[in-house]
């Protein structure tokens, strides 16, 4: 697979993580739990992250192995839990992911390269 596709996938992950974080910026956990629109936006961002991570894992195994500090499997796993258990989504997990895991992911992605667009 081409290097430009890898860059695209990494960009999709990075952009979706930035989006999800921006969607909850300034919200309390209670505000998030009361705002279905924001929940849906964040959940969609997590699906995009998981889809792109799966593409990276499937097409660029050497890259994922070289950057094993990035939680590739966790991103894919979150996407699968959302897609296959949609009616059982745990909003506490979604909230904690966007508050803790995504900011950490953004730091990890900025360090791995190839550089996103």
Kindly list the catalytic residues: 79, 84
Contact 42, 20 (CB under 8 A): yes
Task: Write out the DSSP string of 40-108.
Answer: HHHHHHHHHHHHHHHHHHHH-HHHHHHTTTS-HHHHHHHHHHHHHSGGG--HHHHHHIIIIIHHHHHHH
């Amino acid at each position: 697979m081409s290097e430009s596709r890898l860059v695209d996938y990494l960009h999709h992950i990075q952009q979706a993580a930035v989006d999800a974080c921006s969607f909850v910026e300034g919200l309390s956990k209670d505000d998030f739990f009361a705002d279905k629109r924001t929940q849906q936006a964040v959940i969609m961002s997590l699906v995009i992250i998981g889809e792109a991570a799966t593409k990276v894992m499937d097409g660029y195994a050497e890259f994922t192995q070289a950057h094993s500090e990035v939680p590739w499997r966790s991103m894919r796993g979150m996407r699968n839990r959302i897609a296959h258990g949609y009616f059982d989504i745990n909003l506490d997990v979604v909230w904690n992911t966007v508050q803790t895991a995504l900011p950490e992911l953004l730091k990890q992605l900025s360090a791995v390269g190839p550089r996103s667009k």
